Amino acid sequence: MGRGRHSVLAAAVTVVCAVTLLGAPGTAFARALPDPAPPAAPASSSAPSPSSPPSVTLPPDQDLEAVRAELDELYHDAAVATDAYNLADEKAKKQSAEITDLNGKIADEQRKLDGLKERAGAAASAQYRTGGLPPEVQLMLGNDPQDFFDGAGRLLQSQRATKNLIEETTRAQQDLELYAGDAADHLRELEAGRKAKAAAKKRIKQRIKEAEQLEAKLEKRQRERLAELERRAADQAQSAWLSTGILDELKGRASASGRKAVEFATAQLGKPYQWGAVGPRTYDCSGLTSQAWAAAGHPVPRTSQQQWQQLERVDIKDMRPGDLIIYFDDASHVGMYVGDGTIVHAPRPGRTVTLAGAGSMPILGVVRPTTD
């Protein structure tokens, strides 16, 4: 998308600001259009005709293009941060579940260890009661040799039981220490994940705020023109993609699960974008695709980057409805192919789930959630 153009874009935005200054520092874009100069009075009249309002012009398209590029940069940065937020959130959920499981194991091992210690105490008490006399002394003091041999057998069994008890107690102690160590590691990871999640959340909100402030400085006619320029750029990208003849090569038909995923995704048309959301009222881009495939009975990774990394990659000419198209070099956006060169996706803050040209954004690649 041209992520390194920030300084150039900033200079271009400054041009727009120069056109729209109110005259006081820090008020660029507060009024998008300058006050028109009063028309020269005709020779026969001392005032302009009220029936002839002055004409005004919008800033040149290249200035609005600079604004559009700056908005793209801000929303792309928010999308990258959203992926980081979603990944941290998924990890936090997994770690919390693992910690809960480990806590259960720790409690079980502690109960087991307590029971073993109780048995060891009982064995020690029994030995104390018999005085701990060696077998040969018990033979000399006893009246019946058979009783001695019976007792010796029981003593041997007791010794073996004691040895097993000691070994079992040692294992239980080791398991308890292992589970406790794992739980401590998971707690540290959970805390690190929470910090990463908080940082990503802060960045998302900051970038969206900056974008909204930039858009708010435009007059209504400028915003309309900006939207027109956005549509034109998307249409041009889509036309260029279609001009390669790609649709002539796309012969793949949706699988049964692919149709279910498409049906779910298209049923969400018109619902607002919300970063971090997985429905049912709002979605972000990967929230839509992950929920669509979950509804089709095939769960997929939560984020667009994970979907790109973990799902089967297919050649674009083999693409079929239900496949996921990953966009931008950093895999920061995803849409679902629905056929006829079209995707359904959740674009960005301020927009709703919509249909768009599959080639309207830079394609990184295509992945397939199932092999059926």
Residue 96 has which token pair? 């919390």
Q: Measured between alpha carbons, how far is 212 from 73 in angstroms, rounded to an integer?
A: 13
β-bridge mates for residue 357, sequence order: 342
Contact 209, 62 (CB under 8 A): no
Residue 252 has which token pair? 């793949």
- Of 283, 289, 321, which Cα lies nearest the Cα of 302? 289
Q: Measured between alpha carbons, how far is 162 from 187 in angstroms, rounded to an integer?
A: 37
Q: Measured between alpha carbons, how far is 277 from 344 in angstroms, rounded to an integer?
A: 16
Pairing of strands 363-368, 324-327: antiparallel
* Dihedral sign for Cα atoms in the order 329, 333, 334, 339: negative
Helix (H) or strand (E) holding 76: helix 61-130
Type of residue numbered 18: A
Active-site residues, by number, are: 285, 333, 345
Contact 3, 73 (CB under 8 A): yes
* Backbone angles phi and psi of 6, in degrees to 5: -60, -45
Contact 112, 206 (CB under 8 A): no
Contact 275, 206 (CB under 8 A): no
Residue 206 has which token pair? 């900051």
